[in-house]
């Protein structure tokens, strides 16, 4: 039995948003797919929260993540969303 490795590349995208835009942008990014991880950073570039996601995320798994992001959005004025994506 042989094992094949897929050539996958990881890339990062950054988006600067204010608190009111945060939840909608995270929903949009998750909907696009191929998201491995979402990192929220504060104004100073320090990691505020990090959400690991699997490639085949379904609604029931995403709901707690979106609830947490919504709570953060209420407290934050300006954040950077860093999205780690997998390109295959």
Q: Structural domain boundaries of the chain?
A: 9-87
Alpha helices (runs of H) in 5-76, residue ranges in sequence order:
19-32, 59-75
Q: Provide the whole-model pTM.
A: 0.75
pLDDT of 1 strictly over 50:
no
CA distance 30 to 62: 9
Q: Quick: pLDDT tens for 7-40.
A: 678 899 999 998 888 889 988 988 887 888 899 9
Length of the chain: 88
Torsion, Cα of 39, 48, 70, 58 (10° steps): 30
Q: Which of 9, 15, 8 is nearest to 30 (CA)?
A: 15
CATH 1.10.101 assigned to domain 9-87? The reply is: no
């Amino acid at each position: 039995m042989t094992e094949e490795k897929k050539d996958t590349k990881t890339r990062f995208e950054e988006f600067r948003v204010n608190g009111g835009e945060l939840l909608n942008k995270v929903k949009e990014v998750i909907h696009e797919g191929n998201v491995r991880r979402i990192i929220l950073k504060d104004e100073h570039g320090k990691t505020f929260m990090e959400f690991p996601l699997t490639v085949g995320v379904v609604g029931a798994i995403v709901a707690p993540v979106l609830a947490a992001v919504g709570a953060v959005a209420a407290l934050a004025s300006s954040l950077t969303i860093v999205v780690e994506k997998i390109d295959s």
